[in-house]
Structure 1
Amino acid sequence: FYNELKMLLVPLFFLAMSLANVESVLVQVEQGILIGEVLQRSTGNGQYYSFKGIRYAAPPVGDLRFRDPQPPLSWLGFRSALADGSACPQIELSTEKILNGTNEDCLFLNVYTPELNPKTRLPVMFYIHGGFFAMGTSNSNQFGPDFLLDHDVVVVTINYRVGVLGFLSLDIEEAVGNAGLKDQVAALKWVKKNIAKFGGDPDNVTIFGQSAGGASATLHTLSPMSKGLFKRAIALSGVFFKDFDIPFEHKRRAFLLAQQLGLYTKDPKEAIKFLKNVSVTDLVEAKPFLLYSEGPRREVLELFNFRPIVEKNLGCEHFFIEHPQKLLSENKTNVADLIIGHTTEEGIYKADEQKKAILKYFPDYKEFLVPYKIANKVNATEVLKLGDRVQKHYFGNREISEGTFRNVIKLYTYFNYVYNIYRFAEMWVKTGNKAYFYEFTCFSERNVNGLNGIKYGLRNSTHSDDLRYLFDGSKYNLTLDKESRSYKMIVQTCTLYTNFAKYGNPTPPGFNITWVDYSKNNSYLDIGYELILKTVKRLPEIDFWRRIYEYAGLMFS
């Protein structure tokens, strides 16, 4: 009966699609048949096949809220893959309310391929979005694959649980923690099993991500759960050393969340039963700050309450039960070569939005000049001393004000991004793996965030600007002129990253420069309109932060 029904439905489906002027295509995956579509690339370089909103895990709703992801269910007949899946519930920063249109049933991925049946299977680039582990989505209007597809790779983008739904932990089986990272693993497993049906090579997968996505990529290089699921990694402006990495007192925070929402208990089983039945809106909008200072820190640095943790060993499969820094220092890595780096002025990002809070707290409260992980580790007197050192280094004898806000941007660039990225690279090359280091300096009309720095006298790339040269996001309304300097930078950037995904070497034949790995004299590539190989020029700045961290007992390696 099923085969007869399928034979009846196929012509009816294609009739409906033709009436809608959509060129469709079918692909059989492990769970059933997907209906995708044929689209034209925005670059004018041909067509591609698009499959969106593919379930890679069971809906994490009801009793599955907070739990590790479960395998996706099969279906009879056909399933449309023409639209993005729902984004996971998350906060809208401008309102501090839950973002409209999100849904707990959100574990979807998109697959884009230039060829369904290539002569040789194509390398796969698996993208993990950023967002402080608290927000973000893989929607096609933000992460259009057109630029990368021009280089003969398959592109996969994913949603994963963020914030409280992705990272709450009570150290029990019902809420082990790191559900969001395990969602990423589940998506990688789905790719391993199914990507060949889209022309992709399951044995040549490169994970890449930006900000929290970059941090995720570095965590996958260390997690036993991710072993064998990818070959290479690219971390853009993010490593797990950042202030949004391993939080403290995660269990206490979960109990406080339950208390704020109406249940006082110290019984984790009772707490999780209660939290599974609370509305998702109340969960996402709650602010379980353990310390009063976390509120202002949230305003200034966008630190969020629920993030990756070191899991308690409960006898089940775990993402990690040892701190990732310990795993890295002991060379317990999933062997993989790595591209890692940052934009020129990471701190321009969100500068306008955070300026009011920064100028409210920074001048009077020296603790805000000190990274959060340090402020939580040393006593108040030491925090003040360290704050004085930071202020003298970046502001000299000048006050922190509108007139010195450019210095604030530089401070934020180094203490929240650049220092920790260099620190990770230094440790990574000691494991014997290669790290290709870069500074992304491209600047054009595509630098949607970097353009905000002009008012501060800064014409530099900033956090997430590099994504506009990798993905064609229609939401940004950017024109594409194939004769422009910016298009040359798009082609150049995508060539480097896709060549790395294909061969493990970012420099293709015929380039006028060879990008050597970081272990060779601390070499890095300046990725601008021109490609320039340099050696690390910022050691004094890195050394300053090294001394600050080591004073607090947080060693560089």
Structure 2
Amino acid sequence: MGAVCSTLMARSPEAEALPDERSLSTVEIYSLEVTLPHGGVLRGREVQQNAAPPFQAFLGVPFARPPLGRLRFQPPQPAEPWAGVLPAEQERPPPLQIDYYLKKVVGSEDCLYLNVYRPPGTEASSRKPVLVYFHYGMWSLNNSSMNEVGPELFVAKDIVVVVINYRLLAFGFMSLNTPLAPGNMGLKDAVLGMRWVRENIAAFGGDPERVTAFGFCIGAYIAHTLQFVEAAKGTFQRSMIFSGAMNNTWYGALPGEVLRERTLKLARILGCDEKASDEEVFEFLQSVPAMELFGKSWDCMASPPPADRANPPFLPVIDGHCVARPEDAVFPAHPFKMLRDGMQVSPVPTMFSLARDDGHVIRGDTKLWTGNRVDEDKLDDHYAKLDRSLPYDLDLELGTPERAAVTREVRQLYFDNKRHPTMHQMYTYLGDVFSGMPVVRAARLHAAHPAAPPTYLMNFAVESSFFNRSRVKYGKCIVPGLVVHADDMSYYFGAGAEPQGPGPEPELAHDSLEAVTRRRMMAFLSNFIKYG
């Protein structure tokens, strides 16, 4: 073990970065510079996307030290200050992941960077409202790139936009369920990113007292969790939580012993001695080349996940019992219990949002379907029985008569007790479990708090066959007439939400449903960001 553990890598071999074929069509106008509080200078550039007004972009800004070598699996450390000018004119590679558009592995373990966008003419004294966005991707996909997040619509509303990367898969969520490796590094990346915004955004003309934490899907889980983390207190004044919430059991948080089992299995797969101590396992995993660690991360599931956690193997974890200091915990208890018991340290005005048919989006395994019907036998194999998908906050133990009775009610209510429910029936049920119930429950619990700030719940129900994001992306896999998970993104992220790679978005007639919807949505979102 000693020989293996002594070869800790300063920089791991990486997969290739996103190539030029993924670049959005932009026009560089001129360079510009911003001086940060520590004295270092960032040089950005001005870009233009589609027909939107130009905006200034500072790309690949380091907010943490590269999480390499002995910093792998560790809480993020603030970036070192620099002297002189640091170019911020090109995006950095994303966190290591599979790019399903290019059908190959892309990215780098060295991924803790953020992008800042602001309107032209912004000065340090401008004090503009700030939107900080966390991307979606089931803890394994996506990044802060303009290909994923087109900021131009928010910037056109005189808002400074920040998009933060965080570590994914084992790099972000490995846990030994001990103080040595308690997990949740990816969430701690988000916290450090928010602290960077607090300390530096004024240099870009942003107002550190008017910051909105915004996330979609997994990003919503992050943005919601920030309200409960002591280290994030004071870094934001509003939250936008779209199609997700921290009490969503599809997204986490797992018991610590589950992630420990997966971490130990990953170490054994990679060649670690089964008798190794926790310290030796930790050092061994720190020494493994990044691509090897990434490639084997999916092989360490001890058993198929229950249907309410059909996710990658490494997720957020309940860590309150295994951190060195209580204030270091992200989840001292299950997220639903934290929400139910009002454990927020940052109660702020909050906007929740759902698509009307949020759960109706392809789940990735077409073998489950026969025509437009679900093969229930395969479904039971894949999801380990319907009763395991019941929401956590029903507080019903597996195998109990009470849980069996509720399962029977679910089969009757959603499926009419049929052996082969339709896709529509199954996704109506999964949508309620996956998005609907957690978000609605979270909004109600927020609103019921005795000292609750304003709480809003939006239902997005606009149908468009050519503009709604998931409708364009998944096409015939979605029942006609539905408005599903991520359909709303086209209306506020513009070109960056284009689902099939770069290219100009469809031209919209001024009075079209899509154009009117976009103007209305951007009006009330920007008003919330500015005024709460």
Give matches, 1:300-379, under 5 Å.
302-311=310-319, 312-315=322-325, 317-323=327-333, 324-333=335-344, 334-351=346-363, 353-357=364-368, 359=375, 361-362=378-379, 367-368=385-386, 370-371=388-389, 377-379=397-399
Answer yes or no: is 1:503 the counterpart of 2:524: no
Q: Which residue of 2 aligns with 1:479?
A: 506
CA distance in 2, matches of 1:348, 1:331: 31
How many pairs were matched up?
476
CA distance in 1, matches of 2:28, 2:96: 33
CA separation of 1:469 and 1:269: change in aligned 2, threshold 3 A: same
| 8 Å Cα contact 1:343/1:441 also seen in 2 | yes
Answer yes or no: is 1:58 the counterpart of 2:78: no
Q: Which residue of 1 aligns with 2:246?
A: 240
Match of 1:260 among 264, 269, 294: 269
Give the aligned residue type for 2:278. Answer: P
CA separation of 1:193 and 1:283: change in aligned 2, threshold 3 A: same
Give the aligned residue type for 1:412. Answer: L
Answer yes or no: is 1:423 the counterpart of 2:452: no
Give matches, 1:536-551, under 5 Å.
none
Give the aligned residue type for 1:420. Answer: P
CA distance in 2, matches of 1:493, 1:319: 36
CA separation of 1:282 and 1:41: change in aligned 2, threshold 3 A: closer
Match of 2:111 among 97, 106, 109: 106
Identity %: 28
Please state how far the C-alpha of 1:213 moved relative to its aligned partner.
0.4
Q: Which residue of 2 aligns with 1:81?
A: 88
Please state how far the C-alpha of 1:110 moved relative to its aligned partner.
0.5
| 8 Å Cα contact 1:91/1:284 also seen in 2 | no
SS in 1 for 2:328: coil
| 8 Å Cα contact 1:147/1:491 also seen in 2 | no
CA distance in 2, matches of 1:434, 1:108: 32
Q: Deviations over 1:226-246 (max 9, x none)?
A: 101100001000012222221
**TM-score when scaled to structure 2?**
0.82
Answer yes or no: is 1:37 the counterpart of 2:45: yes
Q: Deviations over 1:327-354 (max 9, x none)?
A: 3333231120100021111222225x33
- Stretches of structure 1 lacking an aligned partner (at least 5 in a row): 1-19, 505-557
Q: Deviations over 1:242-295 (max 9, x none)?
A: 22221122222222221222221462211101110112223223335554332x
SS in 1 for 2:284: helix
Bigger shift: 432-441 or 372-381? 372-381
| 8 Å Cα contact 1:265/1:271 also seen in 2 | no
Give the aligned residue type for 1:245. Answer: G
Please state how far the C-alpha of 1:117 moved relative to its aligned partner.
1.4
Please state how far the C-alpha of 1:216 moved relative to its aligned partner.
0.7
Please state how far the C-alpha of 1:376 moved relative to its aligned partner.
9.8
**TM-score when scaled to structure 1?**
0.79
CA separation of 1:21 and 1:289: change in aligned 2, threshold 3 A: closer
CA distance in 1, matches of 2:411, 2:384: 8
Pairwise CA RMSD of aligned residues? Answer: 2.8
Q: Which residue of 2 aligns with 1:412?
A: 430
| 8 Å Cα contact 2:355/2:483 also seen in 1 | yes
Please state how far the C-alpha of 1:113 moved relative to its aligned partner.
0.4
CA distance in 2, matches of 1:118, 1:47: 19
Q: Which residue of 2 aligns with 1:440?
A: 460
Give the aligned residue type for 2:379. Answer: F
| 8 Å Cα contact 2:173/2:185 also seen in 1 | yes
Please state how far the C-alpha of 1:487 moved relative to its aligned partner.
2.1
Bigger shift: 455-464 or 430-439? 455-464
Please state how far the C-alpha of 1:22 moved relative to its aligned partner.
4.2
CA separation of 1:346 and 1:315: change in aligned 2, threshold 3 A: same
Bigger shift: 103-112 or 427-436? 427-436
Q: Which residue of 1 aligns with 2:146?
A: 140
> Larger relative CO (CA 8 A, sep 6+): 1 or 2?
2
SS in 2 for 1:491: helix
CA separation of 1:216 and 1:265: change in aligned 2, threshold 3 A: farther
CA separation of 1:301 and 1:447: change in aligned 2, threshold 3 A: farther
CA distance in 1, matches of 2:426, 2:313: 24
CA separation of 1:372 and 1:318: change in aligned 2, threshold 3 A: farther
CA distance in 1, matches of 2:280, 2:390: 31
| 8 Å Cα contact 1:181/1:319 also seen in 2 | no
Please state how far the C-alpha of 1:317 moved relative to its aligned partner.
4.7
| 8 Å Cα contact 2:157/2:526 also seen in 1 | yes
| 8 Å Cα contact 1:361/1:368 also seen in 2 | no
Q: Which residue of 1 aligns with 2:490?
A: 468
Please state how far the C-alpha of 1:40 moved relative to its aligned partner.
3.2
Give the aligned residue type for 2:399. Answer: N
Give matches, 1:164-183, under 5 Å.
164-183=170-189
Q: Which residue of 2 aligns with 1:489?
A: 517
Match of 2:304 among 283, 290, 293: 293
SS in 1 for 2:166: coil
Answer yes or no: is 1:449 the counterpart of 2:467: no
Answer yes or no: is 1:28 the counterpart of 2:35: yes
Answer yes or no: is 1:392 the counterpart of 2:412: yes
SS in 2 for 1:393: helix
Give the aligned residue type for 2:43. Answer: I
SS in 1 for 2:145: coil
Please state how far the C-alpha of 1:443 moved relative to its aligned partner.
2.3
CA separation of 1:373 and 1:246: change in aligned 2, threshold 3 A: farther
Q: Which residue of 2 aligns with 1:4?
A: none
Q: Which residue of 2 aligns with 1:546?
A: none
CA separation of 1:53 and 1:94: change in aligned 2, threshold 3 A: closer
Give the aligned residue type for 2:292. Answer: D
Q: Which residue of 2 aligns with 1:90?
A: 97
| 8 Å Cα contact 2:212/2:239 also seen in 1 | yes
Please state how far the C-alpha of 1:459 moved relative to its aligned partner.
1.7
CA distance in 1, matches of 2:396, 2:264: 20
CA distance in 2, matches of 1:290, 1:420: 25
CA distance in 1, matches of 2:310, 2:177: 26
Q: Which residue of 1 aligns with 2:371?
A: none
CA separation of 1:133 and 1:322: change in aligned 2, threshold 3 A: same
Give the aligned residue type for 2:522. Answer: C
Q: Deviations over 1:285-318 (max 9, x none)?
A: 3335554332xx58x9741221112222312751
CA distance in 2, matches of 1:116, 1:163: 37
Q: Which residue of 1 aligns with 2:8?
A: none
Give the aligned residue type for 1:496. Answer: F
